[in-house]
Structure 1
Amino acid sequence: MEALYLLFSILSTFFTSITLSILLVIRTFLTRRPSSTISSNAVSLYQGTVWHERRRPVRHSFRYSVRYALFDLDQTHAPPDHLSADDARQVAQTTGPVFLLTIPPSVGYEQNPLSLYYCYDMDGSARILKKCIAEVTNTPWGERVVFIFDPNSDLVAKPLHVSPFMDAYCSNVNLELICWGVGNIKANDPTESLSVLISVQHPELGDYFVASLKANKISTVSDHAMFFWLMPHKVALWIYWQALKLWWKNVHFIQHPRYTNPAYREEAMIRDEKLQCNQALAWDRGNCLHADGHHPGNLADRKRWFKWRDAKTPWC
């Protein structure tokens, strides 16, 4: 039954995208004005490269071109199925502007392995990046986890079965976000260029996986719909093609942990709480204390905000 649902979903997406693509091309030729109604101040466009390298147990690497949009959520609505600016501020406990880096839907289809929210505080007229929120969606299930992290550098317990070819119990993810402007390195504002770096450490295999997104700002695009045409489809095709290559290299298919361990989400939160306290101990050289003398080893004080979305049909 699941296979039939999946086949129907693929066929429905295919014909919907073909129809909307034809209409998009016709509209482009018949109109001179760009279709986008988003203010140029409300969205910035980026073009760059995603690079993945799996180092254990079989080495496998690839890269592909990608296009992203950076939305100023205080000047425009978020794309469907994303947090609003107020929602993000509430989660991050910030008071300044919020930006969302994501791949917008194209001709009826969305595919976003990773979206990021940049949450700022204001210091006079200057904005300071205080927190980021990661929005990770797995393939093929369409489950999602949303969690907050420190953009300078943070260790996060792996909270989602991202891939059927990746162990769900990698001990932690070292998620480091670096954004730079022209000529100098910054950690607080994606301007002309941006970068996202991710590395995964496995409890048994060690240095397991690294990934990066590096992109440059594009300023000459007049039609956003054509700029992102079939971008989500290309990302999906690339994911499935690399999965096929991993299968060909005899990388084991790993069943989703929800079938064998329904409490895997709660366990991920517990691992993350312990991980945060361990970081505090390391940073303070054994003096894991707040300014008021309170010990942050208390797990309730080290609890990171996570939010999960269940799988979509046919994987629910």
Structure 2
Amino acid sequence: MEALYLLCSVASTFVTSSFLSLSLAIRAIPLFLSRVFCSPAPEAGGGGSSSSENDCDAAVWLYEGRVRHARRRPVAHAFEYPVRYALIDIDRAPQSSHLSAERAREIAHTKGPVFLLTIPANLGYEQNPLSVYYCYEVTKEDIQEGGSTPCLKMCIAEVTNTPWGERVCFIFSPGTDVVTKPLHVSPFMDMLGTWCMFADAPGEDLSLVISVQHPILGNYFTATLRAKRVHSSSDSIFIEKYFWLMPHKVAMWIYWQALKLWWKNVKFLDHPKYLSSRYRDDAVLRNRELLTQSTGQSTNLPHCTSNMDLKDRWCVWREAPWPWS
């Protein structure tokens, strides 16, 4: 049934995206003509606009980079693909399918700005295996000095498991942190892994790394995003063009690599909800045990510690809006 539903969604997405691509091309014509006939010539020695030229005024920063997955056991399998992301000031450009800035600050217990790193929906489709909220703190010194850069205090991960249509959000500390796996993301991984999360404050460059520690397979999987800021913009048509078919490409790469793993005879695992209706409660209990036993102590993952001074980590599941993002 899930396979049939997936095929129907693929067909529906193809038709919708084709129609919206044509619409985007028509709407982009005036923008193209204005740039051809009205753009001032670049100054001598100049190379066009800088990626940081209007950063202070922009609500969206555009990044370009690569995602790499490396699996070491039970079989070796690695791949990487180019990707584009947006870093969005969600106080100024709210995202309806994501948390609001107010809700993110409430969760993270911060008072500063909140930025969302995500792949925006494009042509009626959204595909985001992982989005991250960067929650900054404003101190008394920031207020007194005026213009001081707020510090990154907390991150919120938003993980979605296509094609099951589930989404989980949980907090983690910037730098490094560990969390027990809360969601069935891949049918080729069970629920016993621990995620080592690394995130730095996004600037000209950004990095995200998730390593998986398993009680049997050890440190057997790493996913990495490395990206550079290439532009800032508030022009909706430009952003739509920049991300043209980006969500579709991510989905295609995910399913193609899943097919390769299946071909390599990696065991296919059903969603744990078919085995137990309490699989989410089990994840919470495993994480509570992790926080109790390893707070401030290193795990079997190098340079990875739990920095949470909490007995419970905020973690909430909900259904992902269709088309699954």
The question of 1:256 aligning with 2:279 is answered no
The question of 1:129 aligning with 2:152 is answered yes
Q: Which residue of 2 aligns with 1:90?
A: 106
Q: Which residue of 2 aligns with 1:200?
A: 212
Query: CA 1:307/1:64 → structure 2, altered by over 3 Å: closer, same or farther?
Result: same
The question of 1:225 aligning with 2:240 is answered yes
Deviation per residue, 1:53-99 (Å, 9 max, x gap): 01110110000000000001122212x31001001000001111000
Q: Which residue of 2 aligns with 1:173?
A: 195
Matches of 1:202 and 1:14 in 2, distance apart? 38
**TM superposition shift of 1:282:** 3.3
**TM superposition shift of 1:311:** 6.5
Percent of counterpart pairs with the same letter? 56
Of stretches 213-222 and 231-240 in structure 1, the one that deviates more from structure 2 is 213-222
Runs of 4+ in 1 over 6 A off after TM superposition: 311-315
Query: CA 1:314/1:225 → structure 2, altered by over 3 Å: closer, same or farther?
Result: closer
Query: CA 1:281/1:82 → structure 2, altered by over 3 Å: closer, same or farther?
Result: closer
Q: 1:216 aligns with which of 228, 231, 237?
A: 228
> Which residues of 2 match residues 297-308 of structure 1 at below 5 A?
302-308=311-317
Q: 2:161 aligns with which of 133, 138, 156?
A: 138
Deviation per residue, 1:120-151 (Å, 9 max, x gap): 10131330100000000012212111000001
Q: Which residue of 2 aligns with 1:118?
A: 134
Query: CA 1:244/1:158 → structure 2, altered by over 3 Å: closer, same or farther?
Result: same
Matches of 1:66 and 1:313 in 2, distance apart? 22
Q: Which residue of 2 aligns with 1:147?
A: 170
Matches of 2:97 and 2:162 in 1, distance apart? 17
Query: CA 1:313/1:24 → structure 2, altered by over 3 Å: closer, same or farther?
Result: closer
**TM superposition shift of 1:226:** 0.5
Matches of 1:133 and 1:55 in 2, distance apart? 28
The question of 1:49 aligning with 2:66 is answered yes
Secondary structure of 1:225 counterpart:
helix
Matches of 2:203 and 2:67 in 1, distance apart? 18
The residue identity in structure 2 corresponding to 1:263 is: R
The residue identity in structure 2 corresponding to 1:306 is: C
Q: What are structure 2's unaligned runs of at least 5 residues?
A: 36-55, 143-147, 299-308
The question of 1:28 aligning with 2:28 is answered yes
Matches of 1:53 and 1:228 in 2, distance apart? 25
**TM superposition shift of 1:4:** 3.7
**TM superposition shift of 1:219:** 2.1
Q: Work out the number of aligned pairs and report it.
A: 284
Q: Which residue of 1 aligns with 2:145?
A: none
The question of 1:266 aligning with 2:281 is answered yes
Query: CA 1:281/1:53 → structure 2, altered by over 3 Å: closer, same or farther?
Result: closer
Of stretches 59-68 and 7-16 in structure 1, the one that deviates more from structure 2 is 7-16
